[in-house]
Amino acid sequence: MGAKRRRSWKVLIIPDDESGVRQYRLTQIGLTALIGIAALLVLYAAAETILFWVVAKRAAEVEPLRQRVSELESSGDKAAQLGVQLAELRSLEQQIRRMMAGGRTDLSESVPWDRTGQATGQSSMESYPRTPDSRVSVNPVADARGVGKASFTAMDVPTLPPVRGYVTRRFTVADSDNPLAHYGLDIAAAEGTPVRAAADGLVVFADWTYRYGNLAVIQHRSDFVSFYGHNQVLLVQPGERVRQGEPIALVGNSGLSTAPHLHFELWHGGSPVDPTSLLARLP
């Protein structure tokens, strides 16, 4: 018997005008190879398409991650700044507690006072002359409204009475006739009456103390420090900036107190100042 004839295929290419007809013969092996090459091309195209979408998806995820990294870096910088400010406030709080215990200290620490957070430098209040009983002997409001020299404004000077009521005890210094000093004003008022900040400033202490109960302390850019004691409740927290006239507490009877009233003190350069020398008008 003769050898078995291998199977083959013809491929005809016929132009529209039926001229120049071309024909190609494909064997079984050739057809298989052609189909294999076509399959590989299809697989390659599919792989390229899948890879494109994977890369596009990854690229879309990169930008949010980059923004998140930037936010975390910014948060880290802010946390570092808050840590520095917290250390300053803790140091200042210790000084205030020592002052409340009867010690004398200077509260004019390096605290950023201007609205941009930059240190304002030395205040012109340091040049104010003082009388023997530590009362300010000039008008700080007039100086604050001056041009060019003052590093603070009238809103930074504690001239606003913190509460309306009756002055039951005034500022006194210790001497041979009166061994017990009272570095402030006691202003009787109804319990729950709003206590207002005497000037713009930064709350450096807001907590309970044995003697003054719920006590708030504000440092002002004019280098004054104001104390508000015996409050029923405090409306501010340490590190909070307040405006002159803004409510910071409610009148109460906390601490060593016999009736609802506000104990109000002013200090400057570590020395007590008679509030009546600064308040625009008595309560």
On whether the CB atoms of residues 246 and 213 are closer than 8 A, the answer is no
Q: Write down the number of H helices and E strands in the chain.
A: 2, 12
Q: For 133-175, what is each residue's pLDDT tens digit? A: 433 333 444 444 443 345 788 899 999 999 999 999 999 887 7
pLDDT at 92 over 70: no
pLDDT at 195 over 90: yes
> Would you state the pLDDT for residue 100?
59
Retrieve residue 268's tokens: 């400057």
CA angle 266, 182, 156 (to 5 degrees): 5
CA angle 111, 117, 118 (to 5 degrees): 75
CA angle 221, 95, 117 (to 5 degrees): 35
Contacts of 19 (CB under 8 A, 6+ apart): none
Residue 37 CA neighbour count, 13 Å, CB half: 6
Retrieve residue 177's tokens: 């006739």
Closest residue by Cα to residue 137 from 274, 281, 269 = 274
Q: Higher pLDDT residue, 281 or 138?
A: 281
Query: Strand 261-268 vs strand 224-234: parallel, antiparallel, or unpaired?
Result: antiparallel
Alpha-carbon distance of 137 to 128, in angstroms, equals 8
Give me the chain's average pLDDT, please.
75
Whole-model pTM: value is 0.53
On whether the CB atoms of residues 271 and 277 are closer than 8 A, the answer is no
H or E element at residue 93: helix 28-100
Task: List, as one string, the DSSP characters of 34-91.
Answer: HHHHHHHHHHHHHHHHHHHHHHHHHHHHHHHHHHHHHHHHHHHHHHHHHHHHHHHHHH
Q: 232: buried, middle or exposed (CB in 10 Å: 19+, 13-18, 0-12)?
A: middle
Integer CA distances (angstroms), 88 to 33, 124, 193, 263, in order: 81, 22, 32, 26
Alpha-carbon distance of 231 to 249, in angstroms, equals 6
> Would you state the pLDDT for residue 260?
95
pLDDT at 225 over 70: yes
> Would you state the pLDDT for residue 93?
65
> Would you state the pLDDT for residue 248?
97
